[in-house]
Amino acid sequence: MQVAYSRAEERAGARVDVQPILVAPSHGDDHCLLDALPLAAGIFCMKSGKLWVQALNKQFFDLAYCHGCPEKFSELFHHYSDGLGGDFIRSFLADPANAVDELELTEGTGLNRRFLKLKIAALTPAADRTPRCLLSVVDRTIEIQAENNLRAEMLRDSLTGLPNRLAFTEAVEKAGETLSRDLGHAVLVVDMLRFSRINESMGGIAGDELLITFARRLVLALRAGDILARTGGNEFGILVSLRRGIGDALKAAERIHKVMAAPFKISELEIRVECAIGLAMMHAGQDPEELFRNAQFAVKQAKGAGKPQVYEPQQATEARRRFSIETELRRAIEKEELKLFYQPLINLKSGEVAGFEALARWEHEDRGEISPSEFIPVAEESGLILHLGRWAMDKAAHTLADWDRKAGKPLPLYVGVNLSAIQVARDDVAALVSSALKSSGLAGKRITVELTESSIVQDPARATRVFEALKALDATVAMDDFGTGYSSLAYLQRLPIDVLKIDRSFVTGMMVDPDSVAIVRAVLGLAEALGMSTTAEGVETVELATTLAALGCASGQGFHFARPLEAEAAFAYAESRRQ
């Protein structure tokens, strides 16, 4: 059926003319082409500098809501041809080889908004050489709406209804584009403390109820424009705008603490919930993930400090260094790159070497010497102290056995090895010492295990079992750094301790501080009363050595006698002191 309709004369000089529009079924190769296509399609051409519609199929009329009415389509096409769609067709007809052949087009607003995809292809020119093209149109509205709905779900936390971590990151990135001298931004991370205990004791449903209530209270602390998101299990992120710098962010943290002050009523119980808050200031060009990690790092600091903390780059640098040291320390232990040095312990009466304290040293190929005060805490925090302690015990025992072989007889020397409180808590210390004694062939009395007061205080019952097991091996037990911890006299009386090592902080002050002398004298008297021996740390002058000997201290160690020495030098030093 062919419907003839034209307004060319009525619209003289207009940019668009509508020639007779063919509504399928029709005749001719072009019309058969349109009839065969399953999607909306039409044939367009340029004639006398004007855009003409030669033919449309039924789907095109339906897509335009014209329902086969050429008059209605003509009015609609005249309206839209002056926009992007018309420019798209004209550009292609003018230069098909270089023009774009696809266009995403949006029309309408609100619920009537439609998303169309236009694709264009060249056709053979008409008999009069007029350029022509085939335009197909796909309505992607349902597809786009489904994508938008799916994206909205992807950006929403299903429990609280808040934006999730991904949405928060996008919001932070967008805020970074609006930074100015007058308007800044900060990210706050709020961590609900002890949530796991509440969840475990009251159940998951109560835990979810608490999270929802917690989120609602956070909303009360926000100002207009602030963005709240649930970024983890019991972690929330807040993006705040700043007019007065960090002061605005700290006030936001203060408001959060205020709204959390009242108890939460969950399952007929009143629960007080505390939170840790970390803050990080946004800088121009900063990666959103980096900014969020900075705030998370500040949260960790806040948990220790008990109050909101602002991210400090220096602290983060130190944390990264500790992590780097942990990674490299693990590798160094595996490759046996650490060494044991031995500091002599001198009998203050005879002047001979009574024994040595084994001290771990690490010479890094790039960083140089890394102090034990830096890598030992990292080893304790990461658990590497267990591997390090086993290595030190075994190495020290075998070194002492090697010295015996060089001397041709058992030497009157012992070696002291430090064990941390973590080793006492997690490792089988007695089995560790027993293995070192068996593999080296040493007698138990040749090994002195040095333990700090903290290893006793943390778990007195376990410490008692460890001490008794060590004494069963005939090993010597020394309490290191005595006087700096929290030991009670009851521990000293009950535990089988052989040696008290007086901390260097008391020893080094003896010549100028009467209180230090009194403390050292008291420790020596206490040790004598309990049948214990004593060793003074930090003996750096001959006057100190003489004074300690006069007070009755059995042995001393310090730079006055020798610095920590490598194994061969330590053996030579011991031999020289006996001559």
Looking at the predicted structure, is the pLDDT value of residue 10 above 60? no
pLDDT at position 15 is 38
Which CATH number covers residue 476?
3.20.20.450
* Nearest Cα residue to 462 out of 430, 485, 490: 430
Per the structure, the count of domains in the chain is 3
In this structure, the answer to whether residues 131 and 165 fall within a common structural domain is: no
Q: Are residue 432 and residue 548 in the same domain, yes or no?
A: yes
In this predicted model, what pLDDT tens digit does every residue of 499-546 receive, in sequence order? 999 988 889 888 888 888 998 999 999 999 989 999 999 999 999 999
Same domain for 138 and 276, yes or no, is: no
Q: What pLDDT was estimated at residue 69?
A: 67
Please give the residue range of the domain that contains residue 31: 2-144
Mean pLDDT across 344-349: 94
Domain contains 444: yes
Q: What's the confidence (pLDDT) of residue 5?
A: 32
| Average pLDDT score, the chain | 85
- Which of 53-62, 177-186, 282-291 has maximum average pLDDT? 282-291
One domain for residues 118 and 180: no
Asked whether residue 149 is domain-assigned, the answer is no
Question: Same domain for 286 and 393?
Answer: no
Q: Are 160 and 209 in contact (CB under 8 A)?
A: no
Does the residue 150 lie in any domain? no
Query: Are residues 364 and 297 both part of a single domain?
Result: no
Give residue-wise pLDDT tens across range 214-243. 999 999 999 888 999 999 889 999 999 888
Predicted confidence band of residue 551 (pLDDT cuts 50, 70, 90): very high
CATH of the domain at 86: 3.30.450.20
How much is the pLDDT for 484? 66
Element (H, E) at 573: helix 567-578
Instruction: Kindly state whether residues 138 and 163 are assigned to the same domain.
Output: no
Phi and psi torsions of 345, nearest 5°? -110, 115
Give tens-digit pLDDT for 295-318: 999 999 899 888 999 988 877 677
pLDDT exceeds cutoff 60 at 559: yes
Q: DSSP characters for 212-258?
A: HHHHHHHHHTPPTT-EEEE-SSSEEEEEEEESSTHHHHHHHHHHHHH
In the prediction, which pLDDT does 12 show? 33
Q: How confident is the model at residue 2 (pLDDT cuts 50, 70, 90)?
A: very low
Q: Among the three residues 311, 346, 363, which one is the final residue of a domain in this structure?
A: 311
Quick one: 168 and 46 in the same domain? Answer: no
Residues 192-201: b if buried by 16+ CB within 10 A, e if exposed? beebeebbee
- Give the end of a domain, one of 254, 281, 311: 311
Strand duo 447-452 + 414-419: pairing: parallel
Looking at the structure, do residues 485 and 569 belong to the same domain, yes or no? yes
Using one digit for the tens of pLDDT, what is the confidence trace for 475-504? Answer: 999 988 776 655 556 677 778 889 999 988
pLDDT band at 11, cuts 50/70/90?
Answer: very low
Do 262 and 340 lie in one domain? The reply is: no
Whether 399 is covered by a domain: the verdict is yes
Is residue 324 over pLDDT 90? no
Arithmetic mean of pLDDT, 551-569: 94
- 116, 144, 172: which is the final residue of a domain? 144
Residues 129 and 198 in one domain: no
Please state the rounded mean pLDDT for residues 242-265. Answer: 89
With respect to residue 359, please indicate whether it lies within any of the assigned structural domains. Answer: yes
Examine residue 322 and state whether it is found in any structural domain, yes or no: no
**Identity of residue 194:** R
| pLDDT (0 to 100) of residue 8 | 35
Task: Assess whether 361 and 435 both reside in one domain.
Answer: yes
pLDDT band of residue 341 (cuts 50, 70, 90) is very high
Say if 327 falls within a structural domain: no
pLDDT digits (tens, 9 = 90+) for 61-81: 888 777 656 667 776 777 677
Would you say residue 384 lies in a domain? yes
